[in-house]
Amino acid sequence: MILRQILRLSSLFHSAVSIHLRRNIGLSAIVFNKTKELDPVQKLFLDKIREYNTKSKQAGGPVDAGPDFQKDMNESLARLQRAYGEGDLTKFPEFKFE
């Protein structure tokens, strides 16, 4: 009886340790990859994402969106307001639980 419990606990301990080690190895691989130099395609991709991020912060919304985009967005918002009622559809709803 005691031997069974010891074996069961050792298998639980073994699985917990193996999961912990796998997570740590996975995280250390990510950290190691960040310190290495990126290949040119990855670097270009990250540069474009950062550039778009700064442009969108300056513009306060989508970058290089013309009047057609704004027109389509207003039509979609009007259609959604007709279907789901009133309120600001550009913000995430606030839930209050009592």
Cα separation, 89 vs 78, in Å, equals 9
DSSP 96: -
pLDDT at 27 over 80: no
pTM of the predicted model over 0.75? no
Domain ranges of the chain: 1-58
Average pLDDT of 18-46? 69
Answer for the pair 79, 72: CB distance below 8 angstroms, yes or no. Answer: no
| % of the chain at pLDDT higher than 90 | 8
> What's the pLDDT tens digit per position in 38-85?
788 888 898 999 999 998 888 877 778 888 988 998 898 888 888 887
